[in-house]
Structure 1
Amino acid sequence: MVIKKYTANNMNEALTRIRHELGKEAVIISQRKIKRPGIKGFFSSKLIEVTAAIENSTLGSSKKAEEKQSDDLFKESLHNFKRVMSKEIGTKKETEPAENNQLQAEVAEMKELLNKVIKNTDKGEAPEDELLTLIKDIDIDVQFYEELKTKVGDEDISDKFRKVIEDEIEISKDELSGNVVFVGPTGVGKTTTIAKLAGKLSLIDKKKVGLITVDTYRIGAVEQLKTYAEIMNIPFKVVITMKEMEEAVESMKDCDIVLIDTTGRSSKNTMQISELRAFVQKANPDSVNLVISATTKNRDIKTILEGYKELEYKSVIITKLDETSVYGCIYNIRKISKQPLRFITTGQNVPDDIKAPTKSDIIRFIFGEEALC
């Protein structure tokens, strides 16, 4: 078996070199991110180091010679080891201390040599297949492995994998209008996202915008939106009861868009979700958007998305992309929610750090070709 390490800018580049040098039969043993050499390594993106291997039967005669050399070395080392051990055991009682020490040193040397040879032979566990390695590297949930394996197949895995992911990403084409409700767990950035959208719609797109909040649980949330509303000179209402929701919506019927903030609720608390649904229905929404953070753990994404289905959200906003370095969660969220992606947020600046992404933007994020940190 021939084992080689490759250093490249990304996985696609590494796989191209591996296929060129070792052929399509090569398998990926391991991969890791490493810093670039020199002072520039502290300020630029990391390289990826990939270890690949291939059976010698698939290579030319020169490769077979390498394997034969490795086998010969192993056999010679084993023979020497047995010889030294046999010599030590047979003469242990008769040798002088100095000679005994010399024999022990030889044994130690043989053990070290054997360990080095064994590490370079195919004695360990079988390496993961290429697709599983790619999935784990970009943090796509392994629950999708079997489905992706069926679609990708066994040849040109890297290129086909990218195409499959691209085909499954959907971006919302609908324009925001009417009463727009935002729901999601506490701490995902709903209020800041609404402030960014209010600024973009009113200051840049010149729309007539209104703001309503039912988020009276968090101290400061109401004041935050109120401050933004005053700066942008747009109407603002705080709602506590469902009757007040009706009145607030009615008072802003002349607005092009009314952005409605809601209280963060636990997706596992069905009573809270039902209460929130009553408020949402009173708002008579034209669209409901689920806001979820890119920092959410994979095992929690499904719980959140399933728990909020009762609110009938039709698009998803993914926040805090600047707070993570891998973006496979975008695929996970899209796949589980089965709803299109409407916006992403990439920082705290209002109203700048929000974007209606293209499919190309999302693919570059997922495959590590674009990063925010």
Structure 2
Amino acid sequence: MIIKRYIVNNMNEAMNRIRNELGNDAIIVSQRKIRQKGLLGFFKAKKLEVTAAVDEKKQPSVPKTIELEKEIIELKNLISSMNKQVDKKNEKKSESKNKFKSNLIKSGIPEEIVEEIVSEIKKRNEGKKLNQKIYEKEFKNILDEIIKINNIDNGKIHVFVGPTGVGKTTTIAKLASLYSLYKNKKVGLITIDTYRIGAIEQLKTYADILGVPFGVIYSNNEINSVLNEMTNCDIILIDTTGRNSKNYMQLQETKKLINEINPDNVHLVISMTTKEKDIKRIIEDYKILNYNSLILTKIDETNSMGSLVTAIYYSNTPISYITTGQNVPDDIEEAEKTKIINLILEAE
């Protein structure tokens, strides 16, 4: 009996060498994976050790079909083993991705946005192994990039637009108090909301309490005269009628008024209690008014940050203020990128 040991890279190489050296009558006794010798061998790919034997006496050759079947079986076993290793690696990657996605969706962020965020993270880390820590770090980086802040101090005339019930009038009262009492600015209040019962009286009451000038615009013809009465003001805050974003004609009316006023800033006020899909529609429909700032209200009334992320993601517009309650003037804060990021991450 002749026995020989072969150190090879794969079974195909072993079979060729055995056939050439021992002939077709040789049989494989054993096979196992081994590391190469030396310190560097630890870092190199494993080799295959194959032991083969053949009787010195001439034996009948194994039919080629049987040899081929054995080779196919061995090859299948090898491929199966390799696939299992690949599957385990992919399972770990998938677990990290699925946990990250699940956390974002649980926090209320729409799945459409989550998918785009995950895709962007993969794109930024192409060829790298991704784990939960990397996903979270990259998500924070993305938030840092897409969140923009606007300083309302820039400009004199400010118009506030948005759907009914988002807190426009209360927000204006808070800002008027903030600028009048804490920033020592001369503030003027104007309303063009002549449709809602009590809207004029509500804002006039705040103006009387603060001792600031107040005006009402009933038609486009009155715009210049009302604004001229407030030429001494440092900042003028203008309330508008709440409009259904689906009503194109109403938005067109508001647009004409805004164009006549020619404000320095138009602030879209959005309540964070609004459903994410409705926020997306409002953001799109109100673009006709050329808003250049967001004010996000009622953040204290929701545990979900889905609305916040939706507003930021789809508007691509700077945030000026956030409101956190009904108290005037306390429950309003200048937007800070770090705080907004933390609000989102803590909810996640």
TM-score normalised per structure 1: 0.63
| Aligned-pair identity (%) | 47
Whether 2:143 is the aligned partner of 1:165: answer yes
The answer to whether the 8 A contact 2:305-2:347 is kept is: no
Q: What's 2:66 paired with?
A: none
Alpha-carbon distance, 1:341 to partner:
0.7
Q: What's 2:52 paired with?
A: none
User: What are the superposed Cα offsets for residues 189-211 of structure 1, whole Å, 9 maximum, x if unpaired?
Assistant: 00000000000001110101101
Q: What's 2:111 paired with?
A: 142
Superposition map of 1:50-69 within 5 A? none
C-alpha distance in 1 between matches for 2:186 and 2:157: 12
1:201 to 167, 179, 182: 179
C-alpha distance in 2 between matches for 1:270 and 1:286: 24
Whether 2:222 is the aligned partner of 1:239: answer no
Superposition map of 1:119-130 within 5 A? 129-130=98-99
Q: What's 2:92 paired with?
A: none
C-alpha distance in 2 between matches for 1:249 and 1:270: 27
Structure 1 pair 163/308, CA: closer, same or farther in 2 (3 Å)? same
1:325 to 291, 295, 303: 303
The answer to whether the 8 A contact 2:107-2:347 is kept is: no
Whether 2:220 is the aligned partner of 1:251: answer no
C-alpha distance in 2 between matches for 1:273 and 1:307: 9
C-alpha distance in 1 between matches for 2:247 and 2:151: 32
C-alpha distance in 2 between matches for 1:185 and 1:246: 26
Alpha-carbon distance, 1:337 to partner:
0.9
- Per the alignment, in what secondary structure is the counterpart of residue 290 of structure 1? strand
Task: Output the aligned Cα RMSD.
Answer: 2.1
Whether 2:207 is the aligned partner of 1:229: answer yes
- Per the alignment, in what secondary structure is the counterpart of residue 177 of structure 1? coil
Look up the equivalent residue of 1:129 and give its one-letter code: N
User: What are the superposed Cα offsets for residues 35-66 of structure 1, whole Å, 9 maximum, x if unpaired?
Assistant: xxxxxxxxxxxxxxxxxxxxxx99xxxxxxxx
Count of residues in Structure 1 that have an aligned counterpart in Structure 2: 248
Alpha-carbon distance, 1:367 to partner:
1.6
- Per the alignment, in what secondary structure is the counterpart of residue 346 of structure 2? coil
What are the ranges of 5 or more consecutive residues in structure 2 without an aligned counterpart? 1-83, 86-94, 123-129
The answer to whether the 8 A contact 1:141-1:298 is kept is: yes
Superposition map of 1:43-192 within 5 A? 129-153=98-122, 154-155=130-131, 156-173=134-151, 175-192=153-170
C-alpha distance in 2 between matches for 1:330 and 1:225: 27
Alpha-carbon distance, 1:134 to partner:
2.2
Q: What's 1:339 paired with?
A: 317
Alpha-carbon distance, 1:176 to partner:
4.1
Alpha-carbon distance, 1:350 to partner:
0.5
C-alpha distance in 2 between matches for 1:328 and 1:360: 17
- Per the alignment, in what secondary structure is the counterpart of residue 129 of structure 1? helix
What are the ranges of 5 or more consecutive residues in structure 1 without an aligned counterpart? 1-56, 59-125
The answer to whether the 8 A contact 1:196-1:351 is kept is: yes
Q: What's 2:268 paired with?
A: 290
The answer to whether the 8 A contact 1:326-1:368 is kept is: no
* Structure index of larger Rg: 2
Alpha-carbon distance, 1:247 to partner:
1.4
Q: What's 2:38 paired with?
A: none
- Per the alignment, in what secondary structure is the counterpart of residue 131 of structure 1? helix
C-alpha distance in 2 between matches for 1:334 and 1:168: 7
The answer to whether the 8 A contact 1:169-1:331 is kept is: no
The answer to whether the 8 A contact 2:146-2:316 is kept is: no
1:306 to 284, 292, 295: 284
Q: What's 1:31 paired with?
A: none
TM-score normalised per structure 2: 0.68
User: What are the superposed Cα offsets for residues 253-293 of structure 1, whole Å, 9 maximum, x if unpaired?
Assistant: 22111100000001111100000111111112011000000
Q: What's 2:326 paired with?
A: 348
C-alpha distance in 2 between matches for 1:174 and 1:312: 16
